[in-house]
Amino acid sequence: MIDAIVSLKELQTQAENLAKIVSKACCILLWGDMGAGKTTFSKAFIRYLLKDINAEIPSPTFTLVQTYNADQGEIWHSDLYRLKNPEEILELGLLEALRTSICLIEWPDRLQNYLPNHRIDVYLNIVDEYHRSLRIEKKT
């Protein structure tokens, strides 16, 4: 879908552009190292769907999941960095959410065998302090 070097502002714009075309029961996996922009992308995406550019969108680093209600349906924002065992996603209810909600998942490698086949992969890498490489691919 896209493969580019973007500024942090352009990263947010690309998140909004993706939010414009998603539907209910969509899984977006955010791949990248610490500080690559996964949470920045997620916040812009969620704020667009909530129609509130100032919405408080806390990082789910410690809670593992934050949920929101938008016109398009329920949004699940997950940060699986602290997940110790992929089986923990069952306790979180994430597998059900993957079938029914818009899911943004940071650190999706923690899903292991639970990675959904139908998804959008967002790959982020740090280029420098102000730029990121961004690649978005749809998998079906």
CATH number where 81 lies: 3.40.50.300
Report d(CA 109, CA 127) in Å as an integer: 22
The per-residue pLDDT for 28 is 97
96 pLDDT more than 80:
yes
Per the domain annotation, does 104 fall within a domain? no
**So what's the pLDDT on residue 13?**
96
Per-residue confidence band for 91, with pLDDT thresholds at 50, 70 and 90? confident
Say how many domains are in the chain: 1
Residue 39 lies in a domain: yes
Q: What is the mean pLDDT of residues 18-31?
A: 92
For the chain, give the mean pLDDT.
93
Average pLDDT over residues 60-75: 92
Tell which residue, 118, 134, 138, has the closest CA to residue 31. Answer: 134
Residue 29: pLDDT over 80: yes
Does a structural domain hold residue 106? no
The predicted pLDDT at position 63 comes to 87
Q: With the C-alpha atoms ordered 102, 135, 55, 39, is the resulting torsion angle positive or negative?
A: positive
Express each pLDDT in 47-63 by its tens digit: 999 999 999 998 888 88
Edge to edge, the sheet with strand 65-70 lists 2-7, 131-139, 119-128, 27-31, 102-106, 73-79, 65-70
Q: Is residue 77 part of a domain?
A: yes
119 within a domain of the structure (yes/no): yes
* Cα three-residue angle 26-46-71, rounded to 5 degrees: 70
| 103 within some domain | no
In 3D, which of 96, 104, 27 has the Cα closest to residue 64?
Answer: 104
What's the confidence (pLDDT) of residue 12? 96
| pLDDT band at residue 72 using 50, 70 and 90 as cut-offs | very high
Q: Is 47 inside a domain boundary? A: yes
Reply yes or no on whether the pLDDT at 79 is more than 90: yes
108: nearest Cα among 86, 127, 125: 86
Tokens of 24: 């209910």
What domain range includes position 23?
Answer: 2-97+114-139
